[in-house]
Structure 1
Amino acid sequence: FTPASRAVTESRMSPQPSTSNLGNDEDDFPLFEAFHEDDKVFDDDPDPRGWRESLRVVEVNTCRDINMPKHRTQAYDTEYLVIRRGQEFVLRVTFSRPVTPRDKFKLEFLIGASEPVSAPFSHRPGHVGSWLLLGITPQADTIVGKFRMYVTIVTTRGLQRTKRDPDTDCYILFNCWNSEDSVYYPDDEGRQEYVLSDVGAIYMGSKETLLSRDWVFGQFDRGILDACIYILDASRMPIRNRGDAIKMVRKGSALINSQDEDGVLVGNWSENFSGGTAPTLWTGSVNILLQYANTGSPVRYGQCWVFAGVFNTFLRCLGIPARVISNFNSAHDNNGNLKIELIFKSDGSADERNTHDSIWNYHCWNEVYMKRPDLPPRLSGWQVVDATPQETSDGLYRCGPASVLAIKEGQVGHSYDAPFIFAEVNSDVHYLTRDKYGNVISVYVDKTLVGRGLFTKHILADTPDEVTSTYKHPEGSPDEAKAMVTAQGFGLERDDGQVELGKDVDLVVEFQSKSDTAQTVKALVTCAVIFYTGVLSNRFKSEAVEITVPPNKSESPLSMRSDQKAQVDDSLAAERGLPAGPQPPAQGRGRFWTRRSGRAKREADAGALAAPQVSGIQAVGQDMFVNVSFVNTFTFPLHNITLAIEGPRTMTNRKRFYKYARPLPSGRACVLTRAWVCVSASSNLKPPSTGRNPSSRK
């Protein structure tokens, strides 16, 4: 779009930038706007028929059936036209009489309360009688949002506009198919997955045991596009900045969490989710975004994968290629020195009061694909953005966009927030102990624990795709050392088996002496349930041992089996891991090593959740029946169980609560079964883009 005529723009100039897109549905202009004397149009051959016989607009048809398939937007459940910038769309305008070369008219588009812009157009083949088919191509950097449209006839006296008609409104989105757009993606499979796919998977657990949580992004569901624009309006983001992909994702990163500006989601990492929904019960983004848009109040509650899932919906809905990344053993380095310092007391127990850094069992963030005109060209491509409120950036809780390649190469001096992300995947873990005099002593440094693996959903397949090599070079390689030295130049400093819930833990502690004399060791072995963020929940085993290890020998003085009931907390709502192992340091002379065990499977796998069974007529406009079964496979009862199910554009989030599920009696499982009836699909709904069944989640 290009600027409108001076007569129009001068009359609409505002001293304050417009920040509201959806709140301007009133009449924008008078139907007739007289020219000023110096703008008067002089016609050597004025129309002798006069004003009443001049050209009038009878109808404007947005040609949705033609435009939306070509723009790949037909999946949006809306009655309005949805198009992508940088690509031509057509309008059919019917006039009161055939148009002659003497007739002058133009198309005007308005977004928010800002000045209108005139759109150049071309006459397309298909002129029949009094209607014309017009072709319009928005520029590749056009503002993204909802536009109002007018056809304006230029007469000798002034401008005669069509009446405000909501049916001619249109949405303009980013266009990853256009090479001139800042979010251009180079191949069609990637566009299909990262923009058009409305369901996906988010990975949890550990690198050794990847656990997949299905997530309904639902970016095409009714009301979601308006909800995403509402988020931008709520942040008071100037409309003139909404064509800039960098500013859009940075603002979105801040507004998906409610830490600063009453954004979408309230974070909660406690065990108390009263007054809201436990994060594990969300099955998709749709209910969250619609609730926020309808109430204007933050939705309770979310954790990292919920923030990432909702942010992914926001990005894909606006046309920005995006995917969810899971980083296993993700460091939260509070002072940015590439050291995760875990402090232990002299008896070997954790010093929680003085330990400020943490390691998350996993952490989820997003990547967006875009050009970075503010960086060297090679640093364009995938960029990290994170909506989970961890640290502030320019005064708000947000993170990114930061170039993934820059992080891999240690080029952390570039915008935005690259040092924090670099530390999340590259920090060293320092085990420290405080002696009886208060001195802090380093006992052991683990250089490989953090950033063990990064995964996302594979393109067009329901399998994980490891992307660790895009973030970091192989541990110990010359390239990895070079990247670390590069990062230090920007001010950064650098100095197992599986456990399953409901099953006994066999823990063997081995001490190895590399001394030529016998050594006496005193150690404290502690087992605790922790949140996936590394925060301790409760300790269920603590045992002190003392052993003399012969010269150059190994001894295993402790073999412990934990009580299975102690491993499971009263509520299975929180995501947790279960580390078990000796807490450093081991007291005594000589050099000893300790090793921590792996993580437990998360509580969501505390039973068998069968794939939903769909019956009935699977067709648009027909009811379907969905049957979900959950089996308690433990040998102890489960309490407070919620079954939830959701399907993109077929079923909103439904829940059913059960107070109790019996344990396995005599080899037989307790089965909880619930049948739902899908909401009847309206005739204008399109089938899900992937054809997958509705996803369910305990």
Structure 2
Amino acid sequence: MGSAFRKDKKIEQTIVLTPPTLYTSGEVVFPRKPAKQTLSGAYIQDKNAPLYVRKMYTWAWENAEHHHTKRFPLPKAGTLVVRRGQPFKITLTFNRPYNSLTDELKFYFETGENPLPGNDTMVCLSSYTSQGSSGWKSDFLPVIGTKDKDCIQAHLWVFTPPDCIVSDWRFALQSILRTEVETATVSYEHPDRIYILFNPWCKNDAVYLPAEPLLDEYILNASGLLFTGCRKRMMYKPWIFGQFESGILEACLYVIKRGFNFRTSQRMGDPAAVVRVIASIVSADNNNGILKGTWSTNEFTDGRSPTTWSGSVAILKQYLDNVISANGDDPEPVRYGHCFVYAGLVTTICRAVGIPCRCVTNYNSGRGTDGRLAIDFYYEVKADGSIGELETDEQELVWSFHVWNDVWMKRIDVAKPCNEPDWQAIDATPSVTNGNVPQVSGPAPLHAVKNYLPEVKHDVDQLFAEVNSEVLHWLKVDVGEWTVFQCEPSRIGQSISSKTPDGRPPALTYKYNLAEMSRVRQDVTADYKYKKGTKMESEITKKPEHKQRPTHRCKAKDVEFKMASKEFEYIGDDFMVKANITNHGRDARTCHVILLCESMHYTGRRHEIIKKVEWNKTLEPEQSEPLQLGIYESDYIGKLAEHACLRQVAYMRVTETDQINACVDDFLLEKPHLEMSVDETIYKNSNFALKLQFKNPLHRPLTNCSVSVEGVGLESMMFVRKFQNVPAECEWTGIVNLLPVRSNLLDISVTFHCQEMLDIIGFITVRVEKEKEGAIQAEVPATGKNGEQDLNDNVKELQDSMILAS
């Protein structure tokens, strides 16, 4: 081959493939790192020079079209975001034609800090063979006859396995020239990560969901509804998941890595392991997670009230701020969250990485049972003969509602019949077990929950108890002696709800009506339990062992005691708590009755007693006596907890027979709704006015008023504006000026806060047109505490400092 090599001249040379340029991620501009190539070996001249890359084209947008990832901003910048189990294409332009006799190309894909082939974190593919390691495959196709004689192109098709590790991967290429004289190599490192996600469109992926229209909701929908309120008056809270916002995919992969303690392994390809880690890292009680929860308080001086959150993007942004501020130490969590905030975050992370996910609300949820099938309340007879409830330190409560998540996947780690594709319940809200260790629940196959198969992992018994427990009322009859005087077998686990999977944002009027509720709400109770009274329901509820409990004995139960059920009241109105007692016996009965109304946290714990009254009534045979307790606006304003939940309670004890009854009924104070409108055409990078309206129903002014706005595609993801006090009984109108930074549909969630009745919510979807021709664009700040730029800067800083991989 003549003087192809000079053995006496060894070199190692670095070639910069492209000069530093700028690329955009969505609307944000980042400096782009140049690709580098390193030559080693002997110096080769002319046509025998080593093969090196002059240009690499990722076909990012075209690949994204086929991989359902084009809504992420990264493909617009040329960064590959693809789904596993599906091929993607790369085109390489070389300095000279590829010669299969002397040239070998090796393609390396690596993830994690210490990539190794044994744990599937390093994969090597070759131009000589289509079969790679760890189930990866490639197809290297040189393009013959290009117009440019000095270079040649080749297409590289990469086939990732359907169980590939979901992470950001590094790509490198090694060109090896072998001649009779010596060997020379060129190493190329691609500057951008390649993001490989779960693939619910791939039949061989464990998260495959065959009903493709459902993926429009459970993967692609960036906004939705979380159901709140109480069973008899279900309400909804709009939530902006924002999984396609700039920097959110990177942030989601970072928190998953943190959940795995930055130890990349095959488990990051197992969706069951990934969602369990997601549920864990969302809670600040585990692995220095994202969100700190708080319950049974209205004091949030060192954070935000959970009810003021209306989306996940601002929470993830604040958490990344805290990670960077910690400078390698444990970051401070975001304060504060309730169950629906945890569920919203889980949905964002799951949908971002490709796991179908929905939010689920269970009304009258049995929490803190540790798998037992009973929620216990305790009472005692006082010296005056009245009965009263005892305050205990137990964690067992009946929550008005509780929100968790369902994720869709096939479980390969469980036996039949639970290894078929199914919804799996995961609960990121930490519960306290007997060991006083907060823990999350799931993933648990709904088939196992519905049929009570506690041997199936994970935490089936806890989730079964949450929808099937019975409520027991205990009475202290003597020192150390208790009896059960009342049992409610059907109170727990009702009207289990999720958003209708229509793939659309929640376009709502917020004026409560059954037609709208039936349109946006899907009843999924049948996924969790059999219908009450059926043979299967009876058989399943008998499967767990029930302890024998002492039953309270009384001489007669001849007094009928009823409390009038209440669905809701409008905030600002006066109302009555009503009960009725009737003596059906032959003898007179002396009845001690207590009626009370109390404000409550949605967790079922009492916040404050609003009003209480007691009577001693003597009833003759067949005599009936109505009882009423008047509750006025002045009684409850200033005493409400979050969600404005109230509880009416009635106790009765008959002196002669020791008959005891307790009636408990939760209801909602319905607040006004925030009407939102836009009176102009909206253009990208041009300010517009969002009009807010509602009527103050109270006979007093609203104080400490502010509005928080959260939306995708805005200059700032979340910000707060303060307003003056709102006078009593007036129509209030407020204007918020917003700046959209992209065209397309814009989802905006607004919450009005005040001291008297907490949050008033509204949601609107508007269309943003492209910039006006010749219009002067509004200046978008380069940085800001609440802006998308700041979030992306944080993600880049995490990557550049190698926190993502250390």
Band the TM-score falls in, shorter-chain normalisation: 0.7 to 0.9
CA RMSD of aligned residues (A): 2.8
CA contact (8 A) 2:50 2:185 kept: no
CA contact (8 A) 1:612 1:695 kept: no
Aligned to 2:191: 166
CA contact (8 A) 2:685 2:740 kept: no
Aligned to 2:804: none
CA contact (8 A) 1:387 1:399 kept: yes
Gaps of 5+ in 1: 1-24, 36-46
Residue 220 (structure 2) pairs with residue 214 (structure 1)? no
Structure 1 position 29, deviation (Å): 11
With 357-366 and 586-595 compared, the bigger mean Cα shift is at 586-595
1:182–1:188 distance in 2 versus 1, CA, 3 Å? same
Residue 646 (structure 2) pairs with residue 578 (structure 1)? yes
CA contact (8 A) 2:252 2:352 kept: yes
How is 1:602-617 mapped onto 2 (pairs within 5 angstroms)? Answer: 605-613=670-678, 615-617=680-682
How is 1:502-517 mapped onto 2 (pairs within 5 angstroms)? Answer: 502-517=572-587
Task: Give the TM-score taking structure 2 as reference length.
Answer: 0.75
Distance 1:338 1:593 in 2: 22
1:343 alignment partner, one of 370, 378, 392: 378
Aligned to 2:706: 642
1:65–1:288 distance in 2 versus 1, CA, 3 Å? same
- 1:114-172 per-residue CA deviation (whole Å, 9 max, x = no partner) reads 133124321469656211122111110111111111122122256734443323x2100
Aligned to 2:38: 31
Aligned to 2:465: 423
Aligned to 2:171: 149
Q: Provide the secondary structure at the position in 2 that maps to 1:407.
A: helix
2:738 alignment partner, one of 653, 677, 689: 677
Residue 743 (structure 2) pairs with residue 695 (structure 1)? no
With 334-343 and 562-571 compared, the bigger mean Cα shift is at 562-571
Distance 1:494 1:182 in 2: 43
Aligned to 1:21: none
Structure 1 position 587, deviation (Å): 5.2
How is 1:206-285 mapped onto 2 (pairs within 5 angstroms)? Answer: 206-235=230-259, 236-240=261-265, 241-269=267-295, 270-285=297-312
Letter aligned with residue 750 of structure 2: S
CA contact (8 A) 1:509 1:581 kept: no
Aligned to 1:136: 158
1:587–1:334 distance in 2 versus 1, CA, 3 Å? farther
CA contact (8 A) 2:200 2:209 kept: yes
Residue 231 (structure 2) pairs with residue 192 (structure 1)? no
Aligned to 1:567: 636
Distance 1:316 1:554 in 2: 61
CA contact (8 A) 2:429 2:440 kept: yes
Distance 1:357 1:49 in 2: 79
Structure 1 position 433, deviation (Å): 2.2
Gaps of 5+ in 2: 1-31, 117-121, 126-136, 147-151, 324-331, 507-519, 550-564, 753-806
Q: Provide the secondary structure at the position in 2 that maps to 1:694.
A: strand
Q: Share of identical aligned residues, percent?
A: 25
Letter aligned with residue 579 of structure 1: R
1:590–1:147 distance in 2 versus 1, CA, 3 Å? same
Task: Give the TM-score taking structure 1 as reference length.
Answer: 0.86
Letter aligned with residue 275 of structure 1: D
Structure 1 position 581, deviation (Å): 2.5
Distance 1:608 1:279 in 2: 19
Distance 1:326 1:585 in 2: 36
Distance 1:161 1:361 in 2: 65
Structure 1 position 468, deviation (Å): 0.7
Distance 1:127 1:630 in 2: 69
2:726 alignment partner, one of 661, 677, 684: 661
- 1:611-665 per-residue CA deviation (whole Å, 9 max, x = no partner) reads 34263434x455443233343123332222332222223351122233522211x
1:382 alignment partner, one of 420, 423, 427: 423
- 1:257-302 per-residue CA deviation (whole Å, 9 max, x = no partner) reads 1013210001112211011111111110001011112321311111
Aligned to 1:39: none
Letter aligned with residue 498 of structure 1: E
Aligned to 1:63: 59
Aligned to 1:94: 93
- 1:383-422 per-residue CA deviation (whole Å, 9 max, x = no partner) reads 1101111136996622110111111111122111111111
- 1:220-266 per-residue CA deviation (whole Å, 9 max, x = no partner) reads 11111111122123231521121111111111111101013210001
Structure 1 position 377, deviation (Å): 4.1
Residue 313 (structure 2) pairs with residue 286 (structure 1)? yes
CA contact (8 A) 2:595 2:650 kept: yes
CA contact (8 A) 1:527 1:541 kept: yes
CA contact (8 A) 1:185 1:191 kept: yes
Q: Provide the secondary structure at the position in 1 that maps to 2:269.
A: coil
Distance 1:85 1:72 in 2: 12
Structure 1 position 96, deviation (Å): 0.6
Structure 1 position 508, deviation (Å): 1.5
CA contact (8 A) 1:514 1:591 kept: no
With 431-440 and 365-374 compared, the bigger mean Cα shift is at 431-440
1:310 alignment partner, one of 338, 345, 354: 345
1:445–1:359 distance in 2 versus 1, CA, 3 Å? same
1:523–1:280 distance in 2 versus 1, CA, 3 Å? same
Q: Provide the secondary structure at the position in 2 that maps to 1:545.
A: strand
Letter aligned with residue 138 of structure 2: F
CA contact (8 A) 2:53 2:188 kept: no
CA contact (8 A) 1:343 1:355 kept: no
- 1:485-512 per-residue CA deviation (whole Å, 9 max, x = no partner) reads 2233xxx758632232322222221124
CA contact (8 A) 2:372 2:462 kept: no
Q: Provide the secondary structure at the position in 1 that maps to 2:155.
A: strand
Structure 1 position 62, deviation (Å): 0.9
Distance 2:468 2:401 in 1: 14
